[in-house]
Amino acid sequence: MGTLNLKSTFTEIRDSRNVLKALVIKNLIGKYRNSALGFGWHFIMPIILLCTYYTVFTQIRSIPIPDFWIYLASGLFPFNFMINNLSNGSSCIVGNAGMIKKMYFPREIIVLSQVISTFIIMLIGYTIILIATIISGHGLGLSIIALPIMFILTFIFTLGYVFLFSAITVYFRDFQHFITSTSMIFFFMTPMYFLFDSITGIFRLVVSLNPLTYFIESFHEIMYYHTFPSLLNISLSIVISTLSLSIGLLVFHTLKTGFVERL
């Protein structure tokens, strides 16, 4: 199977960048290809999503949160980016079986195209939120300079587990269904619509063990509280991202030699 050679892997991906570009465009445009608004749905859907979540969570949350829509929006789009890739990303290799069997290219490109395209969609949604935040008068603090760092860490973290889960799914198809069925657990375990400091006991422990918590809390600190991410949140985000990508790449590299036979 060989050892993981990052330099060789990056070189292969660079040489196949046209394939990567084509897949990203396909992912972004293909979904709404036959609709009248086309790519415009990527701008409309974030607004619909935010309005829906805001209406629901305004009714069920027990502790009032001033400017709740900003608190919700600042974590909502990174959360959806991570969760969508948790469920859909695990099937990206299996879903492109025909392409993998017909031609050779770095298999990592399939994963990269999946994560990059959804990352672009997240950035579109977040751009809308940034504009709305400024217009609302809530404004943006100096902490906004930390936003690109959190975007990068979130991307790395997500890329890592998509590498991991997509490779495992090729060998164990039931794993995809397991991931999809359990992904909604994170919806209730992540402090996206409630304040982390407001919870206690076993629920606080469970939320603390959720790796998504530290990314979402960092986005809250930057956008809602106008402060830089705490040392705990940024440190754990870096550690979790590094581990995710390292493990994901290693497992993917180990298993990818058997993809064609298993697909």
Read off the pLDDT of residues 101-112 as tens digits, 9 standing for 90 and up.
Answer: 888 888 999 999
Average pLDDT over residues 239-252: 96
| pLDDT of the residue at 193 | 84
Q: For residue range 61-92, what is the model confidence (pLDDT) as tens digits?
A: 666 788 888 898 899 899 999 998 988 889 99
Query: Is residue 172 domain-resident?
Result: yes
Select the more confidently predicted residue: 237 or 38: 237
Residue 166 lies in a domain: yes
Q: Is pLDDT above 80 for 44?
A: no
139: Cα within 13 Å, side-chain hemisphere: 6
- Provide the number of structural domains found in the chain: 1
Residue 56 — very low, low, confident or very high, per pLDDT cuts 50/70/90?
A: low
Average pLDDT over residues 116-124: 92
The model's pTM: 0.89
pLDDT greater than 60 at residue 60: no
Residue 124 has pLDDT above 80, yes or no: yes
Range of the domain at 114: 6-262
Residues 114-143 have a mean pLDDT of 90
**pLDDT of 154-174, one tens digit each?**
999 999 999 999 999 999 988
Provide the pLDDT confidence category of residue 222 given band limits of 50, 70 and 90. Answer: very high
Flag whether 178 is in a domain: yes
In-domain check, residue 94:
yes
Residue 1 lies in a domain: no
pLDDT exceeds cutoff 90 at 202: yes
